[in-house]
Amino acid sequence: MTHQDELKKLVGQAAVEFIEDQTVVGLGTGLTVRFMVDALGEHVK
């Protein structure tokens, strides 16, 4: 994984902290969103 990808992963994971119950989340495309969705899945598990 490149340094830029590592940064995107950190951003995606950090974004999950802003999501509260009943929040509607608009998603874009790309690697950062993938990391965020993965982290969100772990968060709600």
DSSP one-letter string for the chain: --HHHHHHHHHHHHHGGG--TT-------SHHHHHHHHHHHHHH-
23 neighbors 44 (Cβ within 8 angstroms): no
Least Cα distance to 10 among 1, 26, 45 occurs for: 1
- Its domain, for residue 33, covers 3-44
Q: What is the pLDDT of residue 13?
A: 97
Cα 26–9–18 angle (5° rounding)?
Answer: 45
Q: Domain total for the chain?
A: 1
Tokens 């598990």 belong to 45
Q: What is the pLDDT of residue 6?
A: 97
Q: What is the pLDDT of residue 23?
A: 92
Q: What is the pLDDT of residue 29?
A: 92
Q: 1-45, pLDDT tens digit by residue?
A: 999 999 999 999 999 999 999 999 999 999 999 999 999 999 998
- pTM, full prediction: 0.85
